[in-house]
Each structure stands twice: as C-alpha cells, then as structure tokens.
Structure 1
Amino acid sequence: MTMFFPRAPRLLAAVLALSIALPAAAIDVLPFKDRAEEQRFQNLARQLRCLVCQNESLADSSADLAKDLRAEVFEQMRQGKTDAEIKRYLTDRYSDFVLYNPPVRGGTLLLWVGPFIVLVIGGIAVATIVRRRAAVARTGAPTTTTPDPAGDDWT
C-alpha cells in the first residue's frame, strides 16, 4: 500500500489526530471543585440541546451559544441550584426545545407523535402504490404505449 500511497500513514495519523482534537476543542476548561461536580455538569450538559446545532447536546457542541449556555449552567451550579432548577430556568428562557427529552404535554405532543404519524402515512402510501401496480399487472393493461396526438412520439 505504501508503494502506491507513500503519504498514507502520515495522512492517516493527521486525520486521527484531528478527530481526537476537534471534540476536545468543544469542551470548555471550567474550574470544577471536584470530579463529582464535573460529572454532574457533564450529565446535565448531555441532557440539554444546543439551540444552534439542534442535533447535538450542549456537551458536544462547539457553537458560541453552546459555550455561553455551558458557562451559564456552570454558574448556576456554583450558585447552588439543582439540576431541576437549572432546566426550569433554561426552559423558561428557551422553551422545552432546549431539553433532549421534552415532557409530553400539549405543546410537545407533535414532537413525540410526529415521527410515528409520518411513518404511518409513508406506510399507507407505499401500500397504496404496491396495490395499484399489482392491480395493473393483473389486468395486463399497457402502461406507456399510447401514441402522441401529434403522431410522432410515443409516451
């Protein structure tokens, strides 16, 4: 392999180094009192959604807003607030969307049920298409052999 790609080992090493360094860059260096406080912070940050990235947790995001929210969560932890109080503060400010697992209630019902509704609609659409094609195949009806009114093209 090195005969055809002499730089492959170096390139692979660089890619691996970057893949390790990039997630580390997303983590803020915060002055935790002890390991328990750090674990509590990381657990809480994993339960919160980055409002910019939307598909990443607050712990994984490198967006500027995520950094600010992590600092806010850390500051509130230092003020002695519980996890529930911190979540309530963030949901009051940013709505239930900031939570990775929003509570089931009227405003979030579509978030919980929506994917299943889309799946059912898709299943019905596929079943309808398959039945129509099977019916056409049984009757032996031609599918696309009608002449064009101009007489030149077949569609």
Structure 2
Amino acid sequence: MAKSPKSLNDLFVSNTKNNNLSVYQQKTREFRQIHQLLSELLGDNIAQNIIVSNFNDCILQIETTSAAVATHIKMRQSETLSMIRQRFNPATVTINVKVSPKSMSVKYAKSLTSQSNINEPAPAKVTHIPDNAANMFDDLAKNATGSLKETFARLASHRKTP
C-alpha cells in the first residue's frame, strides 16, 4: 500500500525537534531579523551589500562583495555585537565578515532589491562592431578554413552601418 504525501501543514509543525523544515524556517526568520537589525544600525546602503550567511556556535557569519563594507562592519563591530546580544542571543561571541567578490548569494540579494519592475522588458543587446574590427574579421576569414572561416565571416557581418 502506497503512502500518501504529507501536507505542508504537517511538514511545518514546529513541535518536533527533528523536523528540518521547521528548523530552516526558524533560521531564515532569525537571519531576516538580524539583517533588519543590521539595516537599522548600519544603514540601508550597507545592509543591501551584505547577507547573513550563518549564525552558529554563537558566531554571526556575514558575507559581502565589498572590502569597504567589511571594514565598515568591523569598525562598528562592538556596537553591532551589543545590539545582537540584546535582541537575539546574549552569548554571541563575535561577527565574522567574509569578503567574497563572487558571492552568488550577495549578488542574488542585490538583484532582488534592485528590481524595479519585473514585467519590464530587458534592454536589447547591441550586436554591432566597428568597421575596422569587421575588416579584420573579413581578412581572417579569407585565410581561414572550415568552421573557423564561417565564424569569422559571421562576426564580420555584425559591421556597424551608419
């Protein structure tokens, strides 16, 4: 006999300690509250460039793409720690700031805050190249063979026309 799937309400019941979904839901709620506190304390310009990545073993982990933002957070670390201890966890020991220029999570968070209208069409890409570059591709296509010749010819076809 096949088991029927559990309802979402059953999955999010928070009275069981082993329920992973409720644990993740609680952590997400805490991260959002901490981020809101950081926004109030450090300002919106700084907060939009950071993301709370973890809060484990009484250490708050923050990621940013900017060294300047990390320096600003470190300069105000004692004030920030005091507020976090007051509102969330009195045992909070420190704040670790990780600067990761390629942090996808921060880029994702930034893109969510900068979207003005989701229904707005994306701007068209410009696919024209200057005449001198097109001439170089033409010359390369004359001396190439096979697929390379086709590629150079296709690139030369993107010539900018007045």
TM (normalized to structure 1)? 0.25
Structure 1 or 2, whichever has the larger Rg, is 1
In terms of fraction of residues, the more strand-rich structure is 2
Higher helix share: 1
Bigger RCO of structures 1 and 2 (CA < 8 A, at least 6 apart): 2
